Amino acid sequence: MRKAFLLLISFINGCGLLTLCYANLISIGTGNYRDLYFPVHSKAVYSYSQQIYYQNEINYKGKITKLSFRHYSGDFENTNHWCIYMGHTEKTEFNNTRDWVQINNLIQVFDGDVSNYLSEGWLTIPLTNQFDYNNNSNLVIAVVELTELSNDDNLYFNIYTKVNSPYTGIYYYGSNYPSLSYPSSMTGNYGCLNYICQIGLEIISPPGKPRLILPYNGEDNISITPTLSWDLPVTVDTAQGYKLFLKSEFEEEYTLYDQITIQSHNIMEPLDYETTYYWKVLAYNEGGEGPFSDEWHFITIEDPPLSLEINHFFAYISNINKVNLQWTSQTEINLSGYYILRSTNKDLSEAHIISPLINATNTSQPKTYSYTDYELNDSGIYYYWLQYNGLDGTIGFNGPIEVIYETILIPNSDILLITSLDNVYPNPFNPIAYIPYTLESKSEVKIYIYNARGQMIKTFDLGIQDKGHHRIIWDGIDEDGTLCSNGIYNIVMRAGRSSFQRKAVLKK
């Protein structure tokens, strides 16, 4: 007979939040019969047993966190060191005393003293290595008794017999240390029996199937930065979090798009226009991953025309031998701003952003913008692009324009430099941020990065730096090698006795 109960348990998840999960308490076997062969033999120096429990006696998928044996009588003075294994098996019985389940098909779930786990007629052992039960196969439980003493504990456990009395228990006991790889090779006592222990299992099951809500299945004209939402699984097994999978019509395989703890997700990185996207969600908890939701799809909006007209984009060398870039827009609508990109060849994919975001004015009147590249130190041919960015996430490019640059020696007195921490770019960044700074004289420089809670997460000790324009690159990684989360970061530069500060936003 199998009885199932629900137990509400709690634990602290990786975010420091209290999470509630339901554990299924399974009780297998009834009656007042008892025996001393299973799970250990208390009157032998060593013993080894295996017992088979059928899938239909368990009928729950998930992590087995505790194993209980119904205790009838006796103490554990000389029978306290147990090693427990679990595994899946297709066996329904043991055919003879050599028909053991191979140890390499089992997983060790406990090794230690069990004498402190006896309470109210049950020996309840918390597994140090929780076992993932698939609810497809039968479960084999193997117990090795390793106390190394001549035992006389009169230890008895309650037993039960399955329908049709199959031999679902096999045992060894004797004075020799059990060979788990070849149990039948030892000198000792062997047997197969048609009864096994009454047990209890605590199983944390994975959550059920989430139900998708929005966007509706097949809906079109969806934003390229949509919010996807779903409902809780319709089971009592609580979810710790969710995994969102997404693919476009041009992709064969799903990609894990994000892992979140709430029932919605706003896609920040713009999707492609006029594209069908497929998505599905699964929930997970301590018991593992649940089944996928149904697969839904949506179609993004058509690509709107970008309301921008650039008349001129050109470059010239200034009187201090710096590259000045200038452009004029005739009209701007729904434009967030511009970036300047630079490369040593004409391949746009190899170009890097060198400017902060240059804010647009969104005017219908002509507007001229300019940017000076202070960071060229070597002669050569350079290519520049103008990237324009729409408020809806669309981008476009103008260029490239070619600049032949030659370094020349300019007396220091001709260049006016002021020590400063310049604008971080791009801003927001993901995950690369360029941090430029200027020194009016040789100085010792340190740059510190703080999160929004004021905790210092990264330090750049740059030593003594010459006067001039400089730049470092931060890859969004903290001192522990972990990618930082979305948020505002304070960047502080100390140059000599002076301090400077800028803010930057990490937005994935």
Q: Which two tokens stand for residue 96?
A: 């003879």
> Which phi and psi (to 5°) does residue 497 adopt?
-100, 5
What is the DSSP-derived secondary structure letter of residue 117? G
Q: Token pair of 233, please? A: 């699984």
Give CA–CA dist 508/491, Å, rounded. Answer: 19
| H-only helix segments in 141-196 | none
Contact 494, 446 (CB under 8 A): yes
pLDDT tens track of the chain, all 508 residues? Answer: 454 444 444 433 333 333 345 678 999 999 889 888 899 987 788 899 999 999 999 999 899 999 999 999 887 777 788 999 999 999 999 999 999 999 999 999 999 999 888 888 899 999 999 999 999 999 999 999 888 655 556 788 999 999 888 999 999 998 888 888 888 888 889 999 999 999 999 998 888 899 999 999 999 999 999 999 999 876 656 788 999 999 999 988 999 988 888 899 999 888 998 999 999 999 998 888 889 999 999 999 987 665 677 877 888 888 778 899 999 888 888 888 999 999 999 999 899 899 988 999 888 888 899 999 988 888 899 999 999 988 877 788 888 999 988 887 555 545 678 899 988 888 888 888 888 899 999 999 999 999 988 899 999 998 998 888 888 888 898 988 889 999 999 999 999 989 999 999 998 7
Domains of the chain, earliest start first: 2-204 (no CATH), 211-300 (2.60.40.10), 308-405 (2.60.40.10), 416-506 (2.60.40.2550)
Show the tokens assigned to 492. 């502080």
C-alpha to C-alpha distance for 447 and 494, rounded to whole angstroms? 6
Distances from the Cα of 81 to the Cα of 180, 181, 351, 443, angstroms: 16, 20, 65, 66
CB 86 within 8 A of CB 107: yes
